[in-house]
Amino acid sequence: MKITQQLLKPISIYPLVYFRVLFGLLMFCEGVGAVLIDWVQEHYVEPTYHFGYIGLEWIKPLPGYGMVYVYLLMALLGFLMMVGWRYKLSSFLFFLLFGYGFFSEKTHYLNHHYLIWLISGLMVLLPAHRKLSWDVRRRPELESEVAPQWTLWLFRGQLLLVYFYAGVAKLQPDWLAAKSMSIWLAAKTHFFVIGPYLNTPAMIQLVVWGGVVFDLLIGFALLWPRTRIAAFWVAFAFHIFNSAVFHVGVFPYFMIAANVLFFSPEQIARWFFRKDIDPKALAQQFLKQPGWQQQLGVRFFILYLGWQLLFPLRHFFVPGDVNWTEEGHRYSWRMMLRTKRGAVYYIVKDAATQRQETVFPKQYLVKEQLKELPKHPDMIWQFAQFLKEEYKRKGMQEPEVYAISNLSLNGYPRHPLVDPSVNLAAVPYTWGAKSWVTPRPEADGWPWQKRTTAGAEHQ
């Protein structure tokens, strides 16, 4: 009961207003920028084949320049969220359109796109439009000085889990041995001024160990008032470094803006809105939502953060190294952990005549897809299904499709990612460990693969 009372405690609404404005502005920049730098064109317009998420293949990009207009519309909706014009509708439409773009092509999966989609969904549910918005100007009765405390802790909990699980994921031999980071930083030596200093042993070790300590502790340091200011500026420097070195789009600035939410509502009101807030007086005000909505909000808070707490851990229940198999990698805040380089081509065989053809994916795919295809078993399987249907259309009665692949993970020698003797055209896709995905080579230092492979082969 006390927990419910704390979650429903009235606090200043200004943190939600602040984040509505910054989130809307960043989404406006994200939508316009993705079009101006041709990111949308490269990922949606140029490809003739798209890799959908398995189970969601019915979500397909619009043809032609349709996705360009989708991103421009998202930019407009971001602006409308920022000014609070028909906020509930504009935020809901943004959530739908961003999710549509995200789930219609997985070649460019990024954790920060997934996070933005989640946050945009949360924004729909929160009363961030009840102060300093065009909605309040149209309907003054909407205005409120307070919001339930769970609305602020929802953001804090989500950010804490993103940071913490990113740190947990780094507690693995390859990261601690700087396998992936050495490759990443070696490719940045051409950068102006800072380039020569990036690929040095001292900098590599600083990034590796600093990354572990930062991710594991920064969320808790932001929560604790005594370390909050120092933690914020450390996080600020960390995200600016990521932006300068790794060019990860709007994400660093999104995280900097979101980290402000760890400060007290009174501080946010004073810094950004020049308002002096008395939290004791606010605590006496009544929330405008009906009681059933307040209780529903508390239940949503618990269920949502519970799901975010458990879902990223699913790869621990799947045999094999997730960096190799990719099982449980997506939606789990596993960032910057692996560098993969590989190649794949296919043998399509007519089961009736034994006639076979070699198919190179570059006949159908664009550059970014060709780079990602050899890294992901699910994409290799999906393209095999595409080739099965393609050769059926060409008149082949019983096409068999075999993938000839090789993959190097974090600089180790290349090894087949999928079993070349398995006819992928006849294999149904199942969740969890797959017998047709090879184990990570023991030569990479993963001796437990013998134990896990045996179990996988009997699934």
Q: How far is 322 from 208, CA to CA, in rounded Å?
A: 19
Cα–Cα distances in angstroms (integers) from residue 92 to residues 255, 268, 382, 429, in the given order: 22, 26, 31, 33
- Which residues, 6 or more positions from 443, have their beta carbon under 8 angstroms from its beta carbon? 412, 413
Same domain, 96 and 198: yes
What is the DSSP pairing of strand 340-350 with strand 356-359?
antiparallel
Residue 440 inside a domain? The answer is no
pLDDT band at 292 (very low <50, low <70, confident <90, very high): confident
Same domain, 118 and 203: yes
Same domain, 87 and 176: yes
Which among 118, 2, 102 has a CA at the least distance from the CA of 52? 102
Q: What is the pLDDT of residue 28?
A: 98
Q: How far is 117 from 122, CA to CA, in rounded Å?
A: 9
Per-residue pLDDT, averaged over 107-132, amounts to 96
Q: Which helix (H) or strand (E) holds 5?
A: helix 2-7
Q: Tens of pLDDT along 391-400?
A: 999 999 999 9
Contact 185, 339 (CB under 8 A): no
- Which residues, 6 or more positions from 107, have their beta carbon under 8 angstroms from its beta carbon? 43, 47, 50, 51, 368, 369, 372, 379
Contact 24, 303 (CB under 8 A): no
Q: How far is 178 from 184, CA to CA, in rounded Å?
A: 10
The residue segments making up the domain with residue 405 are 339-427
Q: Which stretch of 43-57, 168-182, 400-414, 433-447 has the lowest confidence by average pLDDT?
A: 433-447
Which among 334, 408, 445 has a CA at the least distance from the CA of 183? 408
Residue 93 inside a domain? The answer is yes
Which among 381, 371, 373, 429 has a CA at the least distance from the CA of 402? 381
Q: Tens of pLDDT along 416-435?
A: 999 999 999 999 999 899 99
Q: Tens of pLDDT along 242-274?
A: 998 888 889 999 999 999 999 999 999 999 999
Same domain, 276 and 408: no
Q: What is the pLDDT of residue 458?
A: 30
Which among 457, 427, 444, 165 has a CA at the least distance from the CA of 319? 457
Same domain, 349 and 255: no
Token pair, residue 217, equals 């502790």
Q: Is 288 exposed, middle or buried (0-12, 13-18, 19+ CB in 10 A)?
A: middle
For every residue of 241-279, DSSP letters joined together read HHHHHH--TTHHHHHHHHHGGGS-HHHHHHHHH-----H
Q: What is the pLDDT of residue 154?
A: 97
Which among 210, 256, 261, 216 has a CA at the least distance from the CA of 236? 256
What's the gap between Cα 435 and its chain centre? 28
Q: What is the pLDDT of residue 446?
A: 57
> In total, how many domains does the chain have?
2
Same domain, 276 and 354: no
Q: What is the pLDDT of residue 197?
A: 81
Same domain, 299 and 361: no
How many Å is the Cα radius of gyration of the chain?
25
What's the gap between Cα 9 and its chain centre? 31
Residue 352 inside a domain? The answer is yes
Contact 185, 42 (CB under 8 A): no
pLDDT band at 456 (very low <50, low <70, confident <90, very high): very low
- Decide if pLDDT at 449 tops 50: no
Q: How far is 429 from 88, CA to CA, in rounded Å?
A: 38
Contact 411, 339 (CB under 8 A): yes
Same domain, 360 and 230: no
Q: What is the pLDDT of residue 298?
A: 92
Same domain, 242 and 169: yes
- CA dihedral (375, 108, 59, 329) positive or negative: positive
Residue 231 inside a domain? The answer is yes
Same domain, 251 and 161: yes
Q: What is the pLDDT of residue 443?
A: 59
Residue 285 inside a domain? The answer is yes
Per-residue pLDDT, averaged over 212-233, amounts to 98
Residue 122 inside a domain? The answer is yes
Q: How far is 341 from 204, CA to CA, in rounded Å?
A: 21
Torsion (CA) 201, 205, 208, 212 in degrees, nearest 10 = 180
pLDDT band at 451 (very low <50, low <70, confident <90, very high): very low
Q: What's at 19, amino acid-wise?
A: F
Same domain, 98 and 160: yes
- Which residues, 6 or more positions from 137, have their beta carbon under 8 angstroms from its beta carbon? none
Residue 434 inside a domain? The answer is no
Alpha helices (runs of H) in 131-200, residue ranges in sequence order: 134-138, 149-169, 173-176, 179-186, 195-198
Residue 455 inside a domain? The answer is no
Q: What is the pLDDT of residue 457?
A: 35
Same domain, 279 and 346: no
